Structure 1
């Protein structure tokens, strides 16, 4: 269940102190200076996905600062990604200053000083990750703090779309799914940082981790005939384009990898004693093949023999060694 903190029930005189407590308690020790004589109500709605802390914040104009004094009291290192929904914010960190508007996002690092000025009424969603879980170099992260990322630019668009949807649906995830979704968000952040810093991601650990999670999902749903790139991408809150990119890193395609895994399961099952009673069509259907004729054609193309001939070879022990390997992915 989300945790809701609000100053709306309080008098204007009491709101400033309560809001400072809410901000520092939810995020980290900071100074909060409200810019209205009579502060507007503020609300923070927080939830967790694994080690990820999501907070939706609405309030009036204010300035937030974190300095050496605050860092010495709480030196936990967090990556903070803030997705702006309403109003504008000016951020300063690591010698840079940027203005972030609705639909844009920015990165902050809690281990170093920063200043944030929120002008007028605002709303944003922040995502706090443990810094050690983001597998990028410190100097690469430091080079991109207080930078404006728009939702119309390549990987930044993937990140913005993923984070927005993750925040909307956070309460629907169980613990296991929450950890997987949070890990994918970190993978996308690492991809974005690597790309902005001009680094190749072909062997990046975050891409490999995403690919392994996708493969695990495919294997657990291999018998579903409706398993498709679009459904796989949706289940992992990524774009179909990014999904295809992950498989391209291994020189294959999503469809080719799925077909290979299905054929291999059918091949093994056809060698079992029960295969004759069950029948080729049932085994093919069990592993996601809808059309028996289509299954027969691609099985022959992969192994050089029909499913029935393969099953017969298994009964007689006559199957050849050169057909024991996995089929070629096409």
Structure 2
């Protein structure tokens, strides 16, 4: 269940003090200076998924500062990604200043000084990750704080789309799903940082490898499902189809090619089993997700140099003749 904190029930005179407590308690110790003579109501709705904290914030004009004094009191380092929905935010950190508008996002690091000015009513969603879980160099992260990301292309688009969806559906996730969601979000963060720092995806992170392994395990458990597709796989892991394909590109292959290879290998083995003669080639193909017998025959021949029936007959012949391997030689 989400945690909801609001100053709406309070008088305008009491809102400033309570809002400071709400902001510092939800995020981290900070100074909060409200810019309205009579502060507007503020509201924060928070969810936790694994190690990821998600907070939807809406309030009136204010300035927020993280100072040396705050860092000394609370030195837990967090990475903060903020998606702006309404209003603009002027952000300062690491010697840079940038303006974030609706549809854009930025990165902040709680271990260093920052300042955020919101001069009008605003709404944004923030995502807090423990800095220790992000396997990137401090220099790389420092180079991208107080930077405007438009979320229109590349890894920035993948991250923005993914986080927006996670925020919408967070209340329905259980603990196990929450851990997977958090891991994928971290992976996308690493991909974004690597892209902006000029490193290729092939130099990517161990988080990407872990995400790919989770996807492969899911596919292997569902190889027999003829409806297995990039969209169903991506939905099961709360990632975009584009990002799913990118994971397989890291290994120099395609998702469709990998699934086809796994299905063919299982069909190849099963065709040589004694009970295969009774089951029939078409039934075996269907068991492993091939809907069309003619398509199965074509891709099998392309992979192994003979038709499924020829493979099966040769295997029986060699087994009957006492072949030591009990299976035909692959061509």
Q: Where do residues 281-292 of structure 1 align in structure 2 (5 Å cutoff)?
A: 281-292=282-293
Match of 2:253 in 1: 252
Distance 1:243 1:69 in 2: 43
Q: 1:78, CA displacement in angstroms? A: 0.6
Match of 1:12 in 2: 12
Match of 1:323 in 2: 330
**Aligned pairs, number:** 324
Distance 1:274 1:69 in 2: 74
Q: Greater shift after overlay, 150-159 or 134-143?
A: 150-159
In the alignment, structure 2 segments of 5+ residues that lack a partner are none
Match of 2:197 in 1: 197
**What CA deviation, in whole Å up to 9, does each residue of 1:6-48 have, x standing for no partner?**
1111111211121111111111111111111211111100001
Match of 1:181 in 2: 181
Distance 2:251 2:117 in 1: 45
Q: Secondary structure, in 3 states, of the residue corresponding to 2:91?
A: strand
Q: Secondary structure, in 3 states, of the residue corresponding to 2:185?
A: helix
Q: 1:221, CA displacement in angstroms? A: 2.1
CA contact under 8 A between 1:79 and 1:130: conserved in structure 2?
yes
Distance 1:94 1:320 in 2: 65
Distance 1:257 1:112 in 2: 44
**What CA deviation, in whole Å up to 9, does each residue of 1:72-102 have, x standing for no partner?**
1111111100000000111111111111010
Distance 1:257 1:170 in 2: 31
Distance 2:182 2:193 in 1: 17
Q: 1:314, CA displacement in angstroms? A: 4.8
CA contact under 8 A between 2:93 and 2:115: conserved in structure 1?
yes
Q: 1:237, CA displacement in angstroms? A: 4.1
Match of 1:72 in 2: 72
Q: Greater shift after overlay, 226-235 or 59-68?
A: 226-235
Match of 2:41 in 1: 41
CA contact under 8 A between 1:201 and 1:207: conserved in structure 2?
no
Match of 2:114 in 1: 114
Please say if 1:221 is aligned against 2:222: yes
Distance 2:143 2:160 in 1: 20
Distance 2:315 2:77 in 1: 58
CA contact under 8 A between 1:300 and 1:307: conserved in structure 2?
yes
**What CA deviation, in whole Å up to 9, does each residue of 1:198-237 have, x standing for no partner?**
1222131243333223222222222221222233334444
Q: 1:271, CA displacement in angstroms? A: 3.0
**What CA deviation, in whole Å up to 9, does each residue of 1:139-161 have, x standing for no partner?**
00011111111122322111111
Distance 1:141 1:129 in 2: 13
Q: 1:116, CA displacement in angstroms? A: 0.9
Q: Secondary structure, in 3 states, of the residue corresponding to 1:58?
A: strand
In the alignment, structure 1 segments of 5+ residues that lack a partner are 325-330
Q: 1:301, CA displacement in angstroms? A: 2.3
- Superposed CA RMSD: 1.9
Match of 1:231 in 2: 232
Q: Secondary structure, in 3 states, of the residue corresponding to 1:202?
A: helix
Distance 1:39 1:252 in 2: 56
- Give the structure-1-normalised TM-score: 0.92
CA contact under 8 A between 2:29 and 2:66: conserved in structure 1?
yes
